[in-house]
Structure 1
């Protein structure tokens, strides 16, 4: 009997010894990042926000990916809130770097608008895929110069008034085509539509075969933009790098061909943004190199179709699932048509500016979906934000999802409710669908115009019958149904 008791006691000691050893080992391993990155900060480490650096090398990426593969991606940040309180800033280790996660409107506004303290800090995968000579890799001065030269032909009212006709012509044709096709992947078709529009603006002379090839490669490219830069077969980044190489080869051939055309025919008139990029000169008469032009084109062509397509899909789904909202939006569009002069054909920017309810639908869609849930910056010096220090060289993750789902600003934040915008203007930093500051999305007005033109024609004449309304949602790289919103477009009287 006594020996049995000794055996049990021994077994318990072994068990607790192993358990304590496991927890001690886990604590030591999870402290590696903390020791490595904080040991050189000296007294400044006491001014860091609370947080958790996660495991060596992978940091917090596992918990991030795990949360974004569920139907509650906000659980990633809520975990920090539960453990450390509503501090608004948390230290993390993500995408291979020590970082500060910023989740409050005040802190987000500070980071996005203070160009003296912060510069772009995108992950290596994003920079390599979009291009080091694109806006994600350029210094503030270079960005300011190129943005000034390229944003006006995309977002300026005189250009939008030209684009609106082309957009509507293609929307009408697309809706008619989709109705005849039967079951379609709604999101896939919207991507093709918005890509056709942005291709027209930047590379108008290229044919349908080039456009389809590029659109296909862009789909592969996007899956690696938010991934770790692991260039090994089987990883998303590896496939995306291959897609970028193909895109670079295609665009290089286009640029070479256009340069030759302009060399042999000096009287060739400007046709699109590529011509404008070829003509750009700085104050020292330096022109853009092929590498710079290619990276700018890859960036603009990608940003110019992905966000518009996804937002249009979600706005359509939200309206279709809420008949009262659908009917109210439809009535507004019918009123626009009734007030139109008899000889007018198609939408005008003046009509778009009067679509108050549809504008609220789009803003609410942008808030609920938060297409880009985060942007990246890097501190160029030690910066004090909301009572904490962000060390020089650390990355800053501006977490838009937390701002857009803050219940103190938006009651029942997960609820789609365009009426919340009645008489409501959010304070600076509380609504960031296109970012803020000097790096605000340069094509935000074009994107909203594309969405408005599509919804105008859809509401007047069509409805969407979704094949699987309960299709699993994916959140990386962007929110979408797993089946890409498979369904049918039906004409209604």
Structure 2
């Protein structure tokens, strides 16, 4: 951006000619012209890790994509809050064994996978989840890796892991269909059953004090966690999980005085606005108050993408983050073992040394 243009510049990404769109104007242009001037595009590594074997599987994938947003609407997510609360409590009990114990980022990462297993497919056996979690991590590392298919490369590990996970998920789906037919499973027990059955369709402490002993969180409790969500948004601004995404030009067009040829790959970057002092003064400063009131200007804060291709799991992620924060804040005090630990991106942001922290229970 400093060398060529803070608006748009050309480069090569994943062995393709590409134009990188920067700033909120670029985000707005790409998000607003979906399937008009641009369409979604992903590198060949994604196609090889997630292949569509035939037309039938393509049609099924399109149906699933259309259905997913319905499962992540607030009214659908309400019933998952108590489940999230129960799983989170269990996770903290299993992952933390006593005072003055050092735990790492793995606690959070494992929690996220555990919660997804429970809510999406009703898997809650620890050994089963450990069996599946490693391959899922390999898929994530392989998706945006250079597509060099040699033994030992992240790309080859991603392909092997995707084949393994696909086989496991197909087996789960087949068994669930049988269980639904025989009445051994409920259509409302998790997202998978619902999709198969209806295939066409100091705030935290105050909340804790308001709950009776053993009472689980409800949707209304999470709705009160406004400051906590501001904190989470500021984290998402500084280290967005989605670094950006690709598009492909459907036709020749002009943008900001530059000619973009048909077929060129386009890329928008979250960091080009998240760290821009024009939109976020003192961009390296941690300041949750940025999200008070109306919050950031449109198209400047895009950790979940935007417009028609915004991540459908945004509300699910918000619930998961807030329930986890509630138990962390109400149960523990903590300190970082490595105060100046760096964040590395490969391809998702994560602490360089696993974020070891020392936990102290509040009653000590």
CA RMSD, 1 decimal: 2.7
Output one character per residue of 1:105-162: Cα deviation in whole Å (capped at 9) or x when no partner.
11112112322222111111123324548xxx979x975x534422222x22233222
1:235-384 aligned within 5 A: 235-263=153-181, 265=182, 268-270=185-187, 271-279=189-197, 331-338=202-209, 340=210, 345-384=215-254
- State the aligned residue count: 357
Contact 2:279 2:297 survives alignment (8 Å): no
Shift of 1:91: 0.8
Question: Structure 1 388/180 Cα, relative in aligned 2: closer, same or farther at 3 Å?
Answer: same
Structure 2 residue 100 is the aligned partner of structure 1 residue 229: no
| CA distance in structure 2 between the partners assigned to 1:130 and 1:188 by the alignment | 26
Output one character per residue of 1:141-193: Cα deviation in whole Å (capped at 9) or x when no partner.
975x534422222x222332221111111222222333316755522121221
Query: Please, what TM-score do these two structures have when normalized by structure 2?
Result: 0.89
Higher helix content, 1 or 2: 1
- Equivalence for 1:52: none
- Equivalence for 1:162: 79
| CA distance in structure 2 between the partners assigned to 1:472 and 1:334 by the alignment | 30
| CA distance in structure 2 between the partners assigned to 1:402 and 1:419 by the alignment | 21
Shift of 1:459: 1.1
Output one character per residue of 1:371-403: Cα deviation in whole Å (capped at 9) or x when no partner.
111111111122332332322111111111111
1:51-90 aligned within 5 A: 81-86=1-6, 88-90=7-9
Contact 2:149 2:156 survives alignment (8 Å): yes
If you compute each CA radius of gyration, which structure gives the higher value, 1 or 2? 1
In the TM superposition, structure 1's runs of 4+ consecutive aligned residues that sit over 6 Å from their partners are: none
- Equivalence for 1:108: 27
- Equivalence for 1:428: 298
- Equivalence for 2:118: 200
Aligned partner of residue 352 in structure 1, secondary structure: helix
| CA distance in structure 1 between the partners assigned to 2:122 and 2:184 by the alignment | 18
Output one character per residue of 1:195-235: Cα deviation in whole Å (capped at 9) or x when no partner.
12111222115744332211111112211122111111232
Question: Structure 1 216/417 Cα, relative in aligned 2: closer, same or farther at 3 Å?
Answer: same
- Equivalence for 2:268: 398
Output one character per residue of 1:432-461: Cα deviation in whole Å (capped at 9) or x when no partner.
010001111111011011111111121112
Contact 1:369 1:479 survives alignment (8 Å): yes
Higher relative contact order (CA 8 A, sep 6+): 2
| CA distance in structure 1 between the partners assigned to 2:95 and 2:280 by the alignment | 36
1:438-477 aligned within 5 A: 438-477=308-347
Question: Structure 1 242/185 Cα, relative in aligned 2: closer, same or farther at 3 Å?
Answer: farther
Contact 2:67 2:200 survives alignment (8 Å): no
Structure 2 residue 137 is the aligned partner of structure 1 residue 219: yes
Aligned partner of residue 83 in structure 1, secondary structure: coil
Show structure 2 runs of 5+ residues with no match: none
